[in-house]
């Protein structure tokens, strides 16, 4: 199964995501610990797929630090998906105190379907 996933990522059918390498809880963690998680996760992707993840995926964490957009940007992740502790539903820009931005998405429930075209239309209108 893993080799099949690796091939799909390498040929571009699946995107590489989860820049931190594993689900972590950002609540209460210092920024340095999160940055180190990104370093290890991105190193893994670079070694195994020849590229870095551009999407971070934290579907079941219990909070976010305010520096997350800055850490995402510095780790090479342009996009962020999460589920819990959401300020908005759908697609939105999360801007950090330093001006760094990440395009974020969150949905309203577990096991939900993401209707990408509908979400993009609601974001652009």
Q: Active-site positions?
A: 60
Q: Cα-Cα-Cα-Cα dihedral of 33, 20, 121, 83, to 10°?
A: -70
Q: Are 96 and 72 in contact (CB under 8 A)?
A: no
Q: Cα-flanking dihedrals φ and ψ of residue 119, to 5°? A: -65, -45
Helix (H, G, I), strand (E, B) or coil at 124: helix
């Amino acid at each position: 199964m893993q080799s099949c996933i690796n091939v799909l990522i390498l040929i571009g059918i699946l995107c590489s995501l989860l820049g931190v390498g594993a689900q972590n809880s950002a609540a209460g963690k210092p920024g340095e610990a999160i940055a180190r998680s990104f370093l290890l996760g991105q190193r893994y992707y670079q070694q195994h797929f020849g590229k870095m993840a551009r999407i971070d995926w934290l579907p079941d964490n219990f909070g976010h630090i305010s520096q997350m957009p800055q850490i995402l940007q510095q780790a090479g992740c342009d996009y962020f998906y999460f589920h819990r502790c959401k300020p908005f539903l759908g697609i939105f820009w999360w801007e950090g105190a330093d001006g760094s931005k990440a395009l974020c998405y969150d949905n309203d429930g577990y096991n939900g379907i993401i209707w990408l075209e509908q979400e993009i239309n609601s974001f652009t209108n």
